[in-house]
Amino acid sequence: MSIAFVLLIIGYFALDNYLTGYTRHGEEIPVPDVTQSHIDHLPELLEKNGFRFELMDSIWDRGQKKGVVTEQRPRPGQLVKPGRKIYITFNARSDKKIKLYLENVLNGTVRAAMDNLQSMDVVADSIEYKVHQFDGIVLGIKNYRGNELKNNEVITAGSKLILIVGKAGNTTTTVPKVVGKSLHEAKSEILANNLNVSVSGGRLHICGDKVDSTKAIIVRQNPKAFAEIKTGGSVTIFYDCDTVK
């Protein structure tokens, strides 16, 4: 009887030790941060450290590098048991393509064309003028290779396009006030008023090589606001990236 009891106790502790080792009861380790890492590097970053992973979803963000992790669950630093699966969202590895729908773009105003193109995730970046009986009417769209684009044509999202706009004689337009606006807002406002943005002198050195158009602020413009100039003329803008001033 006593021998059986001793064997039972020994068996209990052996089983408990086995289950504890098997489940790693009470052991937790922090989840590594793999955001901004390329998905090709996940095996060495996660699996070699005892984690599993699954690619759950992809997004498309021009501001992110292709194929990088944008989100992970559980979040970085969270304590989990070894072997936990990490669910990954990443930026698409190929450019997003969109189809142009030009019914609401052609034969309308520049401002309306810009709004419609923006809703399709492309950008009207400059204007090319063509003699026409009506002033300020959008007649067509080109890419920067000079090719005129057709309705339902498939192009890369984020492409910068040229609007072909009618110009009837020597008409004039009022220069909008863009000082204090962001670079993106200023360019959009100038184009919408049937004017182009001059690239000459448009940059202060403080911005560096890359400019965030949402943070760069216009500090000077030429001609000044409310001046009357020929339709199709250019407005030179000077911007600064130091928004803490």
Ranges of each domain in the chain: 2-91, 95-169, 172-245
Of 14-23, 76-85, 140-149, 184-193, where does mean pLDDT reach its minimum? 14-23
Q: What is the pLDDT of residue 180?
A: 92
208 three-class SS:
coil
Classify domain 95-169 by CATH architecture: 2-Layer Sandwich (3.30)
Q: What is the pLDDT of residue 153?
A: 95
Dihedrals φ, ψ of 5, to 5°? Answer: -65, -45
Question: Which string of b and e fits 210-237 if b means at least 16 CB within 10 Å?
Answer: eeeeeebbbeebeeeeeeeeebbbbbeb
Pairing of strands 172-174, 228-230: antiparallel
Residue 192 pLDDT exceeds 60: yes
Calculate the alpha carbon distances from 63 to 35, 58, 187 in Å: 14, 14, 20
40 three-class SS:
helix
Dihedrals φ, ψ of 85, to 5°? Answer: -85, 135
User: Which of 206, 233, 236, 232 is closest to 220 using CA atoms?
Assistant: 236
CB–CB of 124/163 below 8 Å? yes
Residue 124 pLDDT exceeds 60: yes
For 97, the token pair is 């393509």
Classify domain 2-91 by CATH architecture: 2-Layer Sandwich (3.30)
Q: What is the mean pLDDT of residues 128-144?
A: 93
Is the domain covering 172-245 a CATH 1.10.15.40 domain? no
User: Which of 30, 42, 32 is closest to 68 using CA atoms?
Assistant: 42
217 falls in which pLDDT band (50, 70, 90)?
confident
Fold match flag (95-169 vs 172-245): yes
Q: What is the pLDDT of residue 117?
A: 95
